[in-house]
Chains A and B, each alone.
Chain A
Amino acid sequence: MSGPLQRQTARVRSDGTHEGFLRHASFRWLKIAGGISLIALLGYMMIDVQPRHNGGSWYGYTLGTIGVLLILWLSMLGVRKRKMSRGHWSLKAWTSAHVYLGLSLVVIGTLHTGFQLGWNVHTLAYVLMLLVILSGIWGIIAYTNLPRLMSANRDQTTEAQMLASLRSIDRQLHDAAQPLGQEHAALVQASLDQDPFGGGIGRRLSNRYPGCMTRYAHEQILQVTGSQPRVDDDPLEKVDSLLGRKRAILARTRKHLQLKALLEIWLYIHVPMTFALIAALIAHIVSVFFYW
């Protein structure tokens, strides 16, 4: 994990209290970004652009220039976070500015469009910008809420321990199932063969695994064991209880995978979309001057 929040947790003030990047310097960047947005909005309402507001009026060009400079600066966070510095331009200050100025882009960018949208390169740039910002907002929400849920779910176990317990239960299952008839052995084998980390992004995010072979095997074997008297050394009983344990381990692991996916997914949108946005901005700006 390499998000800004994780890094900032290491930074604790001298009085021992922790101040996150959102609250940095008593919301300095929230105030600055809010001020910029307000000025842009007031300007939009008070300046009479004829025949109507659009990106091509003087006000539109001004907002567009501010917007593109902001976008380029915001995208520099990726470079900046790989370097260390302290004080006003500490990474926390930088991240705080990144978040709030990034949010103010919604106002600046939208006013720049003059609400004239269409199927063209200009609107594409706008939509990509919104995607980047929305994914960023998701990132903040995820970083503020998910780590707590993750540690509650992990309950002191590490990822290595999760993997180890999965392997251990598999080995035990394998051994316990040796005396079983082929029908039941095949069920256990299917559980063993299934990749606990498999399934696409949809499975990861939704934590739904309708094709889970462990659950299927367990349910099938339960139908047999559930209706017969319990015998201590019945291998099927042993497999039954082992499958039950494997299901519990899988549930925790998969919950962990889901939370982690929710925590990571925004960066898979935020970063590539930023690059796509910069490409679209190049096309947008060149096209405007090419045909103007």
Chain B
Amino acid sequence: MSFLVRQISRTSDGREIVRAYPFDAREIFVGREAACQIHLADLAVELRHAKLTLLDNGRLEVVSVGGLGFDIDGAKSLQAVVDPAAGAELRFGSHLLTVSTDGPVVVVAAERVEAVSDAIQDKDETGLFTLKGILPGRRVTAWALSLIILLALLIWPIQTYYHYQGVKKRPDSFHADSLWSSGSLSSAHAGLKMDCQSCHTEAFVAVRDTSCVACHKSVHDHADPKRLLLARAPLAWDAKLSRTVADQFNRPEGRCVECHTEHEGAGAMPPTPQKFCSSCHGDLDTRLTDTKIANAGDFSNAHPQFKPMIITSLDGPVKKERISLDMKPKEDGGLKFPHNVHLSRTNGVARMAGRLGGQFGFGQALQCKDCHTKTADGVRFLPVDMERNCSMCHSLGIERIGDTVRTLRHGDPKMVVADLRAFYRSGGPYVSRAQPIMQGRRRPGNYAQSRPYFAYFGSINYARADAAIRSVFSKGGACYDCHTVFTPPAGSDNWQVQKVHQSARYMMKGWFDHGAHKTESCSSCHAAKQSGTAADLLLPGIKTCRNCHGGEASKADIPSSCAMCHSYHADDGAPWVPKFDPTRKRERMSDISRTGKAPG
């Protein structure tokens, strides 16, 4: 029994060189040491790595000596017994030992199967120093990225569009075509951000008005469409060009979205710029020669004087007419009322206000708010009402019974006559007691006992009702002081009082909001303190407004485009304005909020 060790090496061209070493021994060693019978120049092999022993039964025992172990038929092991006749493969480091027999001799062939080092292995030398193999190939990356982008951002959104055709509202979740959205929708349309088809109904067709009116059912045209076309300013060369291009691309003109632009970012829709109005209205009369609307452009310098709607006649049905403030119109609403007397700080009214202040919340003199009540929305004022706003001072009391004051009925002359006759029929307290109807004022201005100014009947102690009735309706009487009285023929009781008309709104074409002008005092616009008659129209002219307001691009404190006061789709409501008007100057707004007063 003996071993034959075959050391196999290869020349550079791959030719095999075999050196054979016979050993007549029962055991031999495998190791890096030169003394080992199977000498392996392999740093992964221990100096003395393993012992191969021939057993009596002809088998071969392989035992690790240093403890590093070896692979046998691919499995790690420290000790193994193999049948040389059946053959086996032992792996030590980079070397492969193949066991076989040649008659009685056990043949162990040793061959290096791995290169000495990684660098020495066969390498693709052309790409070794480049990024090839380190990064995915450029071509692969290019096509992969392109494919992903086209699938995710083109095919998927298109699929979504066709999937939801005809659906009114999509389920609340992500929808791929929202990846096409060029910007957030305005706050008014924010709820539609995943429902692209609510506006973009047809593929490759620009958004049509039908999409808008599907929800905005009550919006009407600005004017007769034929007249609108006539009124349009002729297009400049650039506008003509862009019109021609737009026509080519099937974008008809005059669509809602031309003014109401969307996808411009969250928040309010941007306000309509002034030029959308002024391009037609700036010189409207040159194209619409029969128009009654005055030309209007920039508020600073191209806006006509205001034309409030004024009562021009009270005979028969009330007639109203829009008259320019430049004409200094007067308005007779049927009431006699001197603002100056009531707002004086020194006269009897002021003194009376001072006395009644505790009861009615007046100051040392009357103020506008003591008689004028705001509407709930704060935009305007309610009509002045006798019972609510005048009777604190102007009482119609005729008799005190216990704690209760009996009053004449306001607004009903026939009832006044009837009440007075009934009063006298019952005897009239003053007859027996020689007392006035009530102890109270005799005349306005003659105040005693801090009582209101009662109905006044001229000289007291009427023997008969007729005289009292005539007195109350005549000059110096309670009705006559404030109202126009129509005297009946002698012997008739048919006293008539002119019905009073108060206009709640004068500016019918523009919108004025008192609430938005809280920073101003009443008197900064309304010259009430100087007015001695109710016929004075206390409306400020455009000059007053221009103290603060100017055109869109002006340097005024409040640059104001047309849309601040005027509505394109005019109705009875306020014109639409965004909550925050970006044309306003931020710092000025903060000035106002800090000082409560507009600068300048």
Using a CB–CB distance below 8 Å, which chain A residues touch chain B? 50-52, 54-56, 58, 116, 118-122, 124, 159-160, 162-163, 166-167, 170-171, 173-175, 177-178, 180-182, 185-186, 188-189, 191-198, 200-201, 204, 256-257, 260-261, 264-265, 267-268, 271-276, 278-280, 282-283, 286-292
Do B142 and A272 have beta carbons less than 8 Å apart? yes
Of A177, A278, A288, A291, chain B has the most CB atoms within 10 Å of the CB of A291
Q: Give CA–CA (A282, B145) in the complex, Å.
A: 13
Residue in A175, A201, A256, A283 with the greatest tally of chain B CB atoms within 10 Å:
A283
The 23 listed contacts between A and B (C-beta, < 8 Å) are A51-B271, A55-B182, A58-B245, A116-B264, A119-B179, A122-B180, A122-B182, A159-B125, A159-B128, A163-B128, A178-B32, A178-B41, A182-B46, A189-B44, A197-B123, A260-B129, A268-B135, A271-B142, A272-B141, A272-B142, A275-B142, A279-B147, A283-B149
A197 touches B32 (CB 8 A): no
- Which of A54, A56, A276 has a CB less than 8 Å from the CB of B146? A276
Q: Are A291 and B200 in contact (CB under 8 A)?
A: yes
Report whether A174 and B43 are in contact in the complex, using a CB–CB cutoff of 8 Å.
yes
* B142 x A274 contact (CB < 8 A): yes
Cβ 8 A contact of A50, one of B116, B206, B273: B273
Chain A residues with CB under 8 Å of B150's CB are: 279, 282-283
Closest to B146 in A: A279
**Cα A10 to Cα B567 with chains together (Å):** 72
Q: B264 touching A195 by the CB < 8 A rule?
A: no
A290 contacts B158, CB within 8 Å?
yes
Compute how far the CA of A56 lies from the CA of B242 in the bound complex, rounded to whole angstroms.
12
Shortest Cβ gap from B548 to chain A (Å): 24
Q: What is the distance, in angstroms, from B193's C-beta to the closest C-beta of chain A? A: 12
- Residues B116 and A186 in contact, CB atoms below 8 Å apart: no
List of B residues within 8 angstroms of A192 by Cβ: 43, 116-119
Say yes or no for B184: interface residue by CB 8 A criterion.
yes
Residues of B within 8 A of A204 (CB): 131, 134
**How many whole Å from B186's CB to the nearest CB in chain A?**
11
Give the B interface residue count (CB, 8 A).
Answer: 61
A182 CA to B40 CA in the complex, in Å? 13
Interface centre among B68, B134, B182, B184 (most CB of A within 10 A): B182
Contact: B153 with A167, CB < 8 Å? no
B81 on the interface (CB 8 Å rule)? Answer: no
Q: Which of B118, B146, B203, B270 is in CB contact (< 8 Å) with A196?
A: B118
- Chain B residues near A122: list those with CB within 8 A: 180, 182
A160 touches B125 (CB 8 A): yes
Give B579 Cβ to nearest chain A Cβ, in Å. 16
B143 at the interface (CB under 8 A from A): yes
Residue of A nearest to B271 (CB): A51
A161 to B: closest C-beta gap in Å: 12
Interface residues of B in 105-154 (CB under 8 A from A): 116-120, 123, 125, 128-131, 134-135, 138, 141-143, 145-147, 149-150, 153-154
Contact B117 A178 (CB under 8 A): no
* Nearest residue, chain A, Cβ from B133: A197
Contact A167–B120 (Cβ < 8 Å): yes
Q: A196-B119, A275-B142, A282-B154 are in contact. Are A124 and B264 (CB under 8 A)?
A: no
Nearest-neighbour CB distance to chain B for A7, whole angstroms, equals 18
Q: Which residues of A contact B180 (CB under 8 A)?
A: 120-122, 287-288, 290-291
Residue B298, interface by CB 8 Å: no
- CB of B44 within 8 A of CB of A166, answer no
Q: State whether A265 touches B154 (Cβ < 8 A).
A: no
Contact of A275 among B130, B143, B204 (CB under 8 A): B143
Given contacts A54-B264, A174-B117, A264-B131, 15 further A-B contacts (CB under 8 A): A116-B183, A118-B182, A118-B183, A119-B179, A162-B129, A180-B43, A181-B47, A194-B118, A201-B131, A260-B130, A267-B138, A272-B145, A283-B154, A288-B182, A290-B203
Q: Which residue of A lies closest to B149 (CB)?
A: A279
Closest chain B residue to A177 by CB distance?
B43
Residues of B within 8 A of A177 (CB): 43
Which of B130, B184, B271 is A118 in contact with, Cβ under 8 Å? B184
Residues from chain A with Cβ under 8 Å of B154 in the complex: 282-283, 286-287
Asked if B275 is at the interface of the complex by the 8 Å CB criterion, the answer is yes
Chain B: CB-nearest residue to A173: B117
The answer to whether B131 touches A174, judged by C-beta atoms less than 8 angstroms apart, is no
What A residues does B92 contact at CB under 8 A? Answer: none
Q: Is the CB of B153 within 8 A of A283?
A: yes
Check B206 against A163 for contact (C-beta < 8 Å).
no
Provide the residues of chain A in CB contact with B120, threshold 8 Å. Answer: 167, 170-171
- Say yes or no: A268 contacts B128, CB within 8 Å: no
Q: How far is the CB of B463 from chain A (nearest CB, A)?
A: 80
Task: Return the contact of A182 from the options B47, B119, B134, B196 (Cβ within 8 A).
Answer: B47
Q: Are A280 and B153 in contact (CB under 8 A)?
A: yes
Is B457 on the interface with A (CB-CB < 8 A)?
no
The interface residues of chain A lying within 8 Å CB-to-CB of B41 are: 174-175, 178
Of the candidates A174, A177, A201, the one having the most CB atoms from chain B within 10 angstroms of its own CB is A174
Which chain A residues lie closer than 8 Å to B179 at the CB level?
Answer: 119-121
Q: Does B265 contact A (CB under 8 A)?
A: yes
Q: Judge whether B153 and A268 touch: CB under 8 Å.
A: no
Q: Is the beta-carbon distance between A271 and B138 smaller than 8 angstroms?
A: yes
CA distance A52 to B182 in the complex (A): 14
Residues of B within 8 A of A173 (CB): 117
Are B270 and A291 in contact (CB-based, < 8 A)?
Answer: no
Judged by a CB distance under 8 angstroms, whether B66 is at the interface is yes
Any A CB within 8 A of the CB of B207: yes
Task: Tell yes or no: B157 within 8 A of A by CB.
Answer: yes
Contacts of A286 in B (CB 8 A): 154
Q: A56-B182, A283-B150, A291-B177 are in contact. Are A275 and B131 (CB under 8 A)?
A: no
Check A167–B270 contact: CB distance below 8 A: no
Task: Name the one of A51, A279, A283 contacting B270, with C-beta atoms under 8 angstroms.
Answer: A51
Alpha-carbon distance A121/B179, docked complex (angstroms)? 6
Q: Are B142 and A276 in contact (CB under 8 A)?
A: yes
Determine the distance from Cα of A191 to Cα of B119 in the docked complex, in whole angstroms: 10
* Interface hits, B39-68 → A, CB 8 Å: 41, 43-44, 46-47, 66, 68
1/0 contact string of B64-82 vs chain A (CB within 8 Å)? 0010100000000000000
Q: Are A186 and B44 in contact (CB under 8 A)?
A: yes
* Bound Cα distance A50, B141 (Å): 41
Docked CA distance A206–B588 (Å):
55
Q: How far is the CA of A265 from the CA of B135 in the complex (A)?
A: 9
Q: Which of B141, B143, B177 has the most CB of A within 10 A?
A: B141
Give chain B residues whose Cβ lies under 8 Å from the Cβ of A278.
146
User: Does B29 have its Cβ within 8 Å of any Cβ on chain A?
Assistant: no
List chain B residues, Cβ under 8 A from A194: 118
Report which of A56, A261, A276, A287 forms a contact with B157, defined as CB distance below 8 A: A287
The CA of A170 and the CA of B115, in the complex, are separated in Å by 10
> When chains A and B are docked, how far (Å) is the Cα of A109 from the Cα of B120?
51
Residues of B within 8 A of A185 (CB): 32, 43-44
Say yes or no for B261: interface residue by CB 8 A criterion. Answer: yes
Return chain B residues, CB-CB under 8 Å to A189. Answer: 43-44, 93
> Nearest Cβ in chain B — how far from A70, in angstroms?
19
Which of B117, B145, B261 is close to A276, meaning CB atoms less than 8 Å apart?
B145
Closest B residue, CB atoms, query A190: B43
Residues of A within 8 Å of B145, CB to CB, are 272-273, 275-276, 279
Q: With CB as the reference atom, state the residue of chain B lying closest to A180.
A: B43
**Distance A55 CA – B334 CA, assembled complex (angstroms):** 61
Closest-CB distance, B255 to chain A (whole angstroms) = 11
Q: Which residues of A contact B161 (CB under 8 A)?
A: 290-291
Q: List, in ascending order, chain B residues with CB within 8 A of A159's CB.
A: 125, 128-129
